[in-house]
């Protein structure tokens, strides 16, 4: 019968093996896309996994920037996402903190309302938003893309903050109240510092939401100089539908910031799990 140390080693090896296999499911498509972007222009996508095309056409990346003003599109996307992220953090965290201060009955009602809002398809509000933004003079401006952040961007982000704030021991809130802190001070000095992992998670999700948004800029932007990267890259397909290496080059440029972002802040996801264990919920 194997000893406890042997069993621990077996579990560790099995865990890491399964983790590597699951990671490969997500990493291999990225590797395939990057390798296919280095093929000679005009070639179709490879039918099998091609690790290193021969020859390597690094010039595809130069050609993309020469074909379209990709630099401007990247700056526009960074402007929209970079503005929407801090606004979303403030509005979603305030809403989540307010929910956490309610009694259990009020919390349950707002949770149900948030879930219902998540179920409603985005297409159901397109027309109403279009009429509203056009009436406010936001048509063909980046403000129309940033406006949803004033409402927290998504009910999911509000719920994430709510669950994080609710895990904080009530004694900390009560001690702050006894010391004379207002609700805003408690939110700023107690709740937010203890929810750093949630802040990072919501920041990433918000950035990806606005960075990869294609439909909203397509609706509200008419000037090419205002295009964000997803809409701008759409022009590659319109220029040459069969030039797959060039199209995949644009896809790599679109995907790279998201991959780098996850690689940089992945430790905060582990921190969120540790916090869940500390609070026991």
Kindly indicate the confidence band of residue 10, based on its pLDDT and cuts at 50, 70 and 90: confident
What mean pLDDT value characterizes the chain? 86
The pLDDT tens digits for 131-158 are 889 899 999 999 999 999 999 999 999 9
- SS3 track for the chain: CCCHHHHHHHHHHHHHHHHHHHHHHHHHHHHHHHHHCCCCCCCCCCCCCCCCCCCCCCHHHHHHHHHCCHHHHHHHHHHHHHHHHHHHHHHHHHHHHHHHCCCHHHHHHHHHHHHHHHHCCHHHHHHHHHHHHHHCCCCCCCHHHHHHHHHCCCHHHHHHHHHHHHHCCHHHHHHHHHCCCCHHHHHHHHHCHHHHHHHHHHHHHHHHHHHCCCHHHHHHCCCHHHCCHHHHHHHHHHHCCCCHHHHHHHHHHHHHHHHHHHHHHHHHHHHHHHHHHHHCC
Tell me what pLDDT residue 269 has: 62
* Statement: residue 232 has pLDDT above 60: yes
Whole-prediction pTM value? 0.84
Range 210-227 average pLDDT: 91
The pLDDT tens digits for 171-207 are 888 888 888 888 899 999 999 998 888 898 899 999 9
């Amino acid at each position: 019968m194997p000893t406890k140390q042997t069993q621990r080693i077996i579990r560790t090896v099995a865990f890491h093996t399964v983790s590597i296999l699951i990671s490969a499911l997500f990493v291999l498509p990225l590797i395939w896309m990057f390798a296919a972007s280095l093929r000679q222009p005009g070639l179709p996508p490879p039918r099998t996994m091609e690790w290193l095309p021969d020859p390597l056409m690094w010039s595809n990346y130069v050609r993309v920037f020469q074909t379209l003003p990709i630099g401007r599109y990247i700056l526009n996307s960074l402007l929209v996402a970079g503005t929407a992220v801090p606004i979303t953090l403030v509005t979603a965290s305030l809403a989540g903190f307010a929910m956490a201060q309610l009694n259990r009955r009020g919390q349950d009602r707002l949770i149900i309302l948030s879930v219902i809002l998540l179920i409603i398809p985005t297409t159901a509000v397109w027309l109403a938003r279009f009429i509203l933004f056009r009436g406010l003079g936001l048509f063909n401006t980046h403000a129309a893309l940033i406006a949803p952040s004033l409402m927290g961007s998504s009910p999911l982000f509000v719920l994430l903050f709510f669950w994080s704030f609710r895990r904080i021991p009530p004694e900390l809130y009560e001690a702050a109240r006894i010391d004379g802190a207002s609700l805003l001070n408690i939110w700023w000095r107690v709740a937010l510092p203890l929810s750093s992992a949630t802040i990072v998670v919501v920041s990433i999700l918000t950035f990806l939401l606005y960075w990869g948004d294609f439909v909203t800029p397509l609706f509200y932007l008419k000037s090419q100089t205002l295009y964000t990267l997803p809409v701008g890259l759409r022009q590659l397909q319109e220029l040459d539908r069969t030039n797959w290496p060039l199209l995949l080059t644009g896809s790599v440029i679109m995907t790279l910031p998201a991959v780098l972002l996850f690689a940089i802040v992945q430790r905060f996801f582990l921190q969120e799990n540790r916090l869940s264990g500390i609070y026991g919920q």
